[in-house]
Structure formats: structure tokens, C-alpha cells
Structure 1
């Protein structure tokens, strides 16, 4: 900047005003200084600026795994929205390792991120309580209590809506494959399932309630448990699309087909769901809205560090495709 000021024959403060787009500089002076800036190929130091204003315009995001398609799509939406707002995103995958989690947090703190987005994808992950002073927003779920805003989805209504859809197709023998019931969202989707059965006066067969995991293998294992029973359900609510994909695989291995032999409804509406054969009926989660709400909430928290933490709720909706047969 001193070189620019010397060549342009102005003060360094005037150069600073031009580089920071201050309004109180004449067009002629701005043009003169920018010509020198371009000749010298000068690039302002983002690090120096961040130290001065105590803001890096960088957000850290911690996920325990990112191979689940739902969370991969959420991360993509977060990155896209951060880019629109001229923020950078640093993504850290802890790979279900508490030591790696702590290391990643220290790395993000050293990188001077302005805040953290936390998203847990594995129910068996056990993190140590975190003493974080950074502004945080929890997306979907986190295994420990934190002083943070939360963005959740109305999982109980989503479970109710999925089950109600099967009942409206005249199914009365309905099973469910849940994720780990250590996770509140799995518990809430199961509550919604039970609520719909009660509302329509249908019995709950406990043998058809299979606790598994929110992944492909969880769907395979869960459907195999249902198929091994003497009396089988005619329809199954899979509490995630990844579970549904595994269920499709288990049915195919058994020589059965969807929906002729078993009707399936999933949850999440991942992009892959529409390309299955047949396309999967599912409960849609607004992933782009989840991403935008999380980022907006975090930026508000960064600017306003009050203690009134909020819990915001997203409403799921039905996407009807061809994986449910109507019972005569």
C-alpha cells in the first residue's frame, strides 16, 4: 500500500479508502489509484483484514460422516448458500472418532472461523461435552447438550404423514424400520407412526417394529427381519431413504418386488429416490431451507451474542411416487 501511495502520489489512508470501497473518494482519484493497484497486481491480505476487523467471513461445519446422501445434499446446500453470502465454508468430517472431533475443533478455532454448524449423522457416536465459546447452530441432531440454536424437523408429523399415506392406500398390516432409537428424531418418527395407527384404529404389531440404523445396511438387515417372520406386513415405513434403499435390496435378493409384494415409503427425499425402480414415495425434508435457516441463524448469533437460544422447526411434506400399491 505504501508503494501504491508513493506511485499515485497520495497518502496511504487514501489508498486504504479506495481499496475498502469507501464512498468519500472522488471518481477521478479512485480511478487513478486503481490503475496503480492493477499495474502492481496488488491483492489485499484477507488475513490482515480479518485480524483488524475480527471477522474472517468463514464458517466451520462439523459432521460425523458425510457418506449419507441426505447429509451430503445438506452440506452442498450449505456451501452454495455460504457462497451466495460471500462466506467461506470449512467442512470437517470426524469419521465417528471423538479424538478427531476435538482435533478438528481446535483446527477450526486456529483458523479463526466466525461460528460452527454441527451435524451428527451417527447415533452411536459419543462425543465428550464440548466447552465451546464460538457461536454454534445444531442442525438435525448432536449427541451432547450445547448452548446453541437448533434447526430441527417435525419428525413426529413426518412419521404420522408417512403412515397415514400407507393407510390411505388401504394397508392395515404395516411395519416400520427405524434408525437407532437413541436419536430423538427416530423416536419422534416412531411416535408419529403409532399415532396414525391409533387414529385409524389399527393394531400395533410389536414384531413389525424393527430398530436398525439410518444407512443402507440397516435397511437390508431390517427388511430381512420382517421377511423372516411367518406373518409379514404388506407395507413398510422406512425411516430414511437410505433404509428404504437397503429394503429394496433385501426384497430383490428374496425374489420379491416393490410394490407388488411389499409397499415401501421412505423419508428425506434424497435425489436418488426418484431414480429407483420403482421411484420411491417418500417424505420430503426441505434441505435447501434447512441449510439457509442454519446459516442465517448462525450469522445472527455471530452478530448478537445474547443467551436466548432458539429452536426452529421445519415441516416435512409428502412426495407420492410408485412404490406403494393400493390394497383392494
Structure 2
């Protein structure tokens, strides 16, 4: 640590606070010290840190949809940059959720906090998390509604009315009510669920192709699903967007590569924003405030990026 302090021109105490994410260091100094430490291949001995300050330097990250890669990547990168290990729990279905909450009590002894990425908890599940007595910060699943409104407005502006909605497996069907409220025609058989994979999108397209008629636009909650729908429709000889327009509610690189219109740009920043809120909670806790559930201030807003997969009806 003393070598890093000399190279950075700061005290050893400043290096220690900067690399542990503790208060008393400006953000500019924290970034600079972190860069110097990386160049010198220096890392904090976490075991010693834990003994000294009671920290585990680990955070549990809960997600129901690994398909939203930018959100998870933003959170994971910010945590690692702050010196925290990530314990990832994918609550994809009822069985995985039940197993997680069944094994939950010991988790509070292993982590400093919990970060929930677009996971909707029941009252009992939220109470169980609160009982861990560590900070819990959430990116609320309602954030998906902001993205859906943008997508709906875009297809409406292009003249589409008959729209299919493809949701992740853990999302309830009430989201189709938002599309109806926007003036779109969503038939019951056009509200579908899929795993957040390309194969899942291909299966969704098979269902739509087997129907008596195709919607003129498909809105997918996952970029991988949107890509699967795109590929399957093209294999069937359907034009995108000539026959069907496709919009994704997030924009992973593969979807961008083939030109899929997507709501994106802030999901990574939302992950980073949630981590900043969690680290702030941990700093306040170290100064004597009790942990709890926090939502923080307003996260960055999403925006629509129009590409070749959408066109006028």
C-alpha cells in the first residue's frame, strides 16, 4: 500500500479509503488511486480488511433475467471496480426462487449488501430480505414500463396497431394493458412468454407463424428474444420490417449488429447507479446508521434507438 501511496502522491490512509470505497475521498482521487493500483497490480487483502472493519467485501446480486445483459454488466463492473466480489443468484422460475429464500438466512453473514435487478418480490420475500439486516437496493421491475411506453409510442407513430408482446418468463401479463391503453390491439394469443434466449425468440416466432395471421409488430422484453424472432421470420421468408417490425426493450450487441430497434442506452448506467446507491448505504452504515431497503434517487432515463428492424405500416 505504501508503494501505491508514493506513486499516487497521496497518503497510505487515502489509498486505503479509496480502494475500499470509504468516505473522505473525492471521486476524482478515488478513480486516480484505483488506476495507479491497477497499474501496479495491487489488491487489498480482503480477509484482513474484513477482520479490521467487519466487511466481507461481497454483494449478493439477484436477477430474474440474465438476458438484460447491460443492466447486469453495469452493476457487476461497478461492484468489482469498488473491490467487491459478486455472488450472482438467478431467480428465473418458481423453483429457483423457493430454493433461494429457503437458503436465505445464512446469506447475511456472507455479504455486505443485496442488489436486486428487476426482480419483483412478494410481501413475504421482501420481509425475508429485510430480516438480513444488510442494505438492499433495487432496480424496480416497473422500469420496464418506461421502456415499453417508448416502444409502443414508436410503433404507433409508424402506423402499427396489431402488436405482439413477448415477456420474460417471470413477468406478469398486466404489461399488455399498457399497450391497450396506448391504443394498440393486443390479442390474447399475441401476449407470449419466453426464456431470454435466441432459441426462445425462435419458438415465439413459430407460435406467431402458426396463428391465423401475423401481428404487424413484435415488442420483445429481451434483445436475445428479438434476435430469435428476427432470424426465424427471415428464414420463413418474411421481411423485417416489410412484413413485421421488431422492437427490443434492451439492446445487447448481437441485436445491435443486425439492426434491431431497441430501448437502450441507460441500462448499464442503471446498474452502476444502483451500485452507487448501495455503496452509499454501506458508507452510512459504517458511520453508525442501520442498514435497510433503499431505492435511491431517480435512475438514468432510457431512450429509443431506431434501426432497420422497424418501418412504416
Q: Tell me if TM exceeds 0.5.
A: yes
| Contact 1:63–1:121 under 8 Å retained in 2 | yes
Label 1:177 to 1:51 Cα distance change in 2 as closer, same or farther (>3 A): same
Please say if 1:323 is aligned against 2:309.
yes
The residue number in structure 2 matching 1:209 is 190
Q: How does 1:146-185 map to 2 (within 5 A)?
A: 153=143, 155-180=144-169, 183=171
CA distance in 2 between counterparts of 1:109 and 1:64 reads: 20
Shift of residue 251, structure 1, vs aligned partner? 1.0
The residue number in structure 2 matching 1:275 is 257
CA distance in 1 between counterparts of 2:256 and 2:277 reads: 31
| Contact 1:162–1:193 under 8 Å retained in 2 | no
Shift of residue 320, structure 1, vs aligned partner? 0.3
The residue number in structure 2 matching 1:115 is 113
Label 1:187 to 1:317 Cα distance change in 2 as closer, same or farther (>3 A): farther
Q: Secondary structure at the match of 1:264?
A: strand
Label 1:299 to 1:270 Cα distance change in 2 as closer, same or farther (>3 A): same
Please say if 1:192 is aligned against 2:178.
yes
Shift of residue 140, structure 1, vs aligned partner? 4.1
CA distance in 2 between counterparts of 1:128 and 1:297 reads: 18
CA distance in 2 between counterparts of 1:176 and 1:47 reads: 48
Q: Secondary structure at the match of 2:194?
A: coil
Q: Secondary structure at the match of 1:291?
A: helix
Shift of residue 292, structure 1, vs aligned partner? 1.8
Deviations for 1:189-242, whole angstroms, at most 9, x for unmatched residues? x33322221xxxx6x252453221252344233322322222322222223322
The residue number in structure 2 matching 1:79 is 76
CA distance in 2 between counterparts of 1:195 and 1:242 reads: 27
Shift of residue 134, structure 1, vs aligned partner? 1.6
| Contact 1:64–1:121 under 8 Å retained in 2 | yes
CA distance in 2 between counterparts of 1:212 and 1:110 reads: 36
CA distance in 2 between counterparts of 1:159 and 1:128 reads: 26
Deviations for 1:122-178, whole angstroms, at most 9, x for unmatched residues? 99xx9797342221122344xxxxxxxxxx52x333222212211222223333333
Please say if 1:292 is aligned against 2:272.
yes
Q: How does 1:20-31 map to 2 (within 5 A)?
A: 20=13
CA distance in 2 between counterparts of 1:115 and 1:306 reads: 9
CA distance in 1 between counterparts of 2:307 and 2:209 reads: 23
The residue number in structure 1 matching 2:38 is none
Deviations for 1:83-113, whole angstroms, at most 9, x for unmatched residues? 44x32222334575357635875675444x3
The residue number in structure 1 matching 2:53 is 53
CA distance in 1 between counterparts of 2:267 and 2:278 reads: 17
CA distance in 1 between counterparts of 2:186 and 2:91 reads: 36
Label 1:137 to 1:308 Cα distance change in 2 as closer, same or farther (>3 A): closer
Report the TM-score, using the length of structure 1 for normalisation: 0.66
CA distance in 2 between counterparts of 1:117 and 1:205 reads: 34
| Contact 1:118–1:136 under 8 Å retained in 2 | yes
Greater C-alpha radius of gyration: 1
Report the TM-score, using the length of structure 2 for normalisation: 0.69
| Contact 1:157–1:192 under 8 Å retained in 2 | no
| Contact 1:179–1:213 under 8 Å retained in 2 | yes
